[in-house]
Structure 1
Amino acid sequence: MVWVQLVVVLACIFLGSRLGSIGVGFAGAIGVLILTLGLGLEPGAIPVDVILIIMTVIGAVASMQVAGGLDWLVKKAEMILRSKPRYITILAPTVTYFMTLLAGTGHTAFSTLPVIAEVAKENGVRPSRPLSIAVIASQVAITASPVSAAVVVFSDFLEPYDVGYLDLLAISIPTSFLAVILTACVCNFLGLDLEKDGIYQERMAAGLIKKRKRDERETPKTTAGLSVLIFALSILAVVIYATAISPTVGLIEDPVLPRDSAIMLFMMLAASMIVILCKINTNDIINAQTFKSGMSAAMCVLGVAWLGNTFVGAHIEGIQSMAGDILVSYPWLLAVTLFFASMLLYSQAATTRALMPAALALVDPVTAIASFAAVSALFVLPTYPTLLAAVEMDETGSTRIGKLVFNHPFFLPGTLCISLCVAFGFVLAPIVL
């Protein structure tokens, strides 16, 4: 029956990937229905904390977007990209990495992808090079963001092992950023140069490639800077509070608010202050692109993580007994397991919630933290929204998905980047801890 149940899980995930977007969550619910009412399994835990963190963070980010803050950040990013266009393959992932680090969601990359594609095309750089690593950077940065659901949930799991919130960030931020930069250097040599690409030549001959004006983006609103400041201060408050209540620091004993609740509270407070001080219409927040994308992500996590928890929870003892000896001998295999799990579960937070508790029962915290970046393998199946957006925004045709599904320009940079993250993690984690 285990194999039948596994087939159900994989079939529903495949169905979700075909439906796309919020359909991933819907397909997960179908799987839960079959596993529980059909095959008699106990329903797994719903990742309520993950979903609520995503919702509150997205609410604050969407408020900042309506106030013009996101456009302000993108304008600054465009200035950086255009200042050194020949280095766009290095600068593009740097921009998307830090935007995700700040916002706690990779959906901020949507705003910068058109700029990256245009600057690359204008300067004769194959757009697939900066676009591919920029998308990967926006995914990997989730495991380093102080306000991402994946980091918050994982830090909660680590506290019984005397590993603090700042310890996790002190490892994940430098290892992930260094891996992104080194991978970007490799991306400079991937694929044919633009002028030698046959599809680009065909599109040029057909008149399908046009140059756009640089001033097409609207001037950010006067409230933009204030909204960014409010959001940045809320993140600082999260870091300070999460550090203060950490048992390893112990500034606040027996805190009234646990870390999860505090992050939700600070994010909602940030959204409230942006609405009040920047005088924006709350109805506009609901229609903001980041809000729609974020709520879709929350629904995906609900369905897919619930499905994963239902299957894993039913077989957790067997998984631990089977994997225990193997992971003791080959601890790096945890990263491989997380890689393939996140490919299917479609979410860093969902993968962390489903597998990390069991992993920490089998391996030491150093191995778990070093392997943490592997939960970002959302690029393997070419169905993730930012990946598809990068393909659509590259009118040169250099960023394309092949007929074999896996032969797309994101696969090699993503795999290399995660491998480097894990390798650096195994070096830095023992030093920090």
Structure 2
Amino acid sequence: MLWLQLATVLFFIFIGARLGGIGIGYAGGAGVIVLALMGMETSMAYIPMEVILIIMSVIAAIAAMQRAGGLDYLVHISEKMLRKHPQYITFAAPMVTYFMTLLAGTGHTAFSTLPVIAEVAKEQGIRPSKPLSIAVVASQIAITASPISAAVVAFAAMLHPFGISYLQLLCIAIPSTFIAIMIGAVVANLLGKPLLEDRVYQARLAEGLIKKREQGEYTPTSDAKFSVYAFVTAIVLVVTYAIMLSGFIEHPTIGRSEAIMAIMLATAGVIAMKCKLNVNDITQMPTFRAGMCACICVLGVAWLGSTFVNGHIDEIKELSGSLLASYPWMLALILFFASMLLYSQGATTAALMPAALAMGVEPIAAIASFAAVSALFVLPTYPTLLAAIEMDDTGSTRIGKYVFDHPFLLPGIVTIAASVTIAFVIGGMVL
């Protein structure tokens, strides 16, 4: 029955992947129904409500900032940085998407910078697939280092009973992932023939399909600047409060997760009032729609995965416990392949990390393996990956004949492997 139910879980994940987008959540809900009909017990407790609520709260603030013009302001700052040293675009691009994701807690901020990255690379005669590939990977792995991402906050709560603080988690995650994306950038820079020698580019150039992006004058408004300053202030408050909870406040009246939600909602309200926004317009923002889509995806697929894992926790411990105890790095492989299918760092973390820790996996191994929940680049169907392909009119960023032979795969694998390795080393010093 275990293998039949596992096949059912994989089948509905596959159906969700074929549907794409919010369809992953729909398929997850259908899978829960089938598992229940097969005799598996499920519960509201298996739904990662904390992850979903944090995503909703953070996205509410980001959408308000976008409506006020804040995201355009951030893109303007990013473009100035990228154009300052355009010859180093393959290394500057992932830094930009990494820090934007670190700041916002969502990789969807990368959408706005991808056209700039593609254009700067094209102007320099650099194959756009090089900076675009590692930039997309950086936006995904940065989720596991962002102080306000749902995945980090949920994982920090799981580690608390082991005496590991939120600050210690960030002290390991941030440097390990940042160093790893720079290693990934070196790999990305070595891949692919020069742009001028690419046959697809030559054909597109001959057909007049290569367009030059117009650089318009941009003057940030006071509302745009205020919204960014307000959002950054909110992040500083969140991190400061989390640090205080780690040793200065013994009996807090509001927990870390609750504080993140409250601060983010309050920040959205402050931005809306100060900038005189029509709050109905906020729900029409692309970031708001993407964030709510992510909530449905996490709801469905994490509920499906948690139902299966909790229903067979004893068998899973028996099958995997000794293996993970002897080879803790194997957890990274499990998380890597799971995130390929679950399409969400938060969902993968909520579905598998509690089981891994319950099986006796050492906290340091779990923290080091955490970056592996970011393998969303393997299947070439993730929104930011598809957007990068669409933004590159040279045709250098393309899916190959065999589906998996795309430019994101090798830089992504190297980045995650490097992050896991470096995190083991840093974790040994921090913990």
Q: How much does 1:318 deviate? A: 1.0
**Aligned residue in 1 for 2:352:** 355
Q: Normalization by structure 1: what TM-score?
A: 0.97
Q: Deviations over 1:203-228 (max 9, x none)?
A: 1111111112111x754332111111
Structure 2 contact 29–300 (Cα < 8 Å) conserved:
yes
Structure 2 contact 309–355 (Cα < 8 Å) conserved:
no
Q: Deviations over 1:368-421 (max 9, x none)?
A: 111110111111111111011111111111111123221111111111100000
**Aligned residue in 2 for 1:7:** 7
**CA distance in 1 between partners of 2:222 and 2:340 (Å):** 41
**Aligned residue in 2 for 1:225:** 225
**CA distance in 2 between partners of 1:284 and 1:376 (Å):** 32
Which residues of 2 match residues 286-297 of structure 1 at below 5 A?
286-297=283-294
Residue 398 of structure 1 pairs with residue 399 of structure 2: no
Residue 176 of structure 1 pairs with residue 173 of structure 2: no
Q: 1:317 aligns with which of 310, 314, 329?
A: 314
Structure 2 contact 58–264 (Cα < 8 Å) conserved:
yes
SS at match of 2:34: helix
**Aligned residue in 1 for 2:148:** 147
**CA distance in 2 between partners of 1:354 and 1:293 (Å):** 21
Q: Which amino acid in the other structure matches residue 427 of structure 2?
A: A
Aligned length: 428
**CA distance in 2 between partners of 1:412 and 1:42 (Å):** 40
Q: Deviations over 1:24-45 (max 9, x none)?
A: 1111111111111x21111251
**CA distance in 1 between partners of 2:214 and 2:381 (Å):** 30
**CA distance in 2 between partners of 1:92 and 1:346 (Å):** 23
**Aligned residue in 1 for 2:342:** 345
**Aligned residue in 2 for 1:195:** 196
**Aligned residue in 1 for 2:41:** 42
Task: Please provide the CA RMSD for this pair.
Answer: 1.0
**Aligned residue in 2 for 1:265:** 262
**Aligned residue in 1 for 2:379:** 381
**CA distance in 1 between partners of 2:256 and 2:19 (Å):** 35
SS at match of 2:137: helix
**CA distance in 2 between partners of 1:179 and 1:419 (Å):** 8
**Aligned residue in 2 for 1:282:** 279
Q: How much does 1:142 deviate? A: 0.3
**Aligned residue in 2 for 1:245:** 245
Q: Spell out structure 1 runs of 4+ moving beyond 2 A.
A: 217-222
**CA distance in 2 between partners of 1:315 and 1:407 (Å):** 35
Q: Which amino acid in the other structure matches residue 89 of structure 2?
A: I
**CA distance in 2 between partners of 1:77 and 1:132 (Å):** 17
Structure 2 contact 65–227 (Cα < 8 Å) conserved:
yes
Q: How much does 1:181 deviate? A: 0.9
**CA distance in 2 between partners of 1:425 and 1:212 (Å):** 40
CA pair 9-403 structure 1, distance change in 2 beyond 3 A: farther
Structure 1, 352-361 or 265-274: larger mean CA deviation: 352-361
SS at match of 1:309: helix
**CA distance in 2 between partners of 1:131 and 1:244 (Å):** 38
Q: Normalization by structure 2: what TM-score?
A: 0.98
**CA distance in 2 between partners of 1:21 and 1:403 (Å):** 23
Q: Which amino acid in the other structure matches residue 362 of structure 2?
A: D
Which residues of 2 match residues 209-220 of structure 1 at below 5 A?
209-215=210-216, 219-220=219-220
Q: Which amino acid in the other structure matches residue 263 of structure 2?
A: F
Instruction: Tell me the percent identity.
Output: 61
Q: Which amino acid in the other structure matches residue 23 of structure 1?
A: G
Unaligned runs of 5+ in 2: none
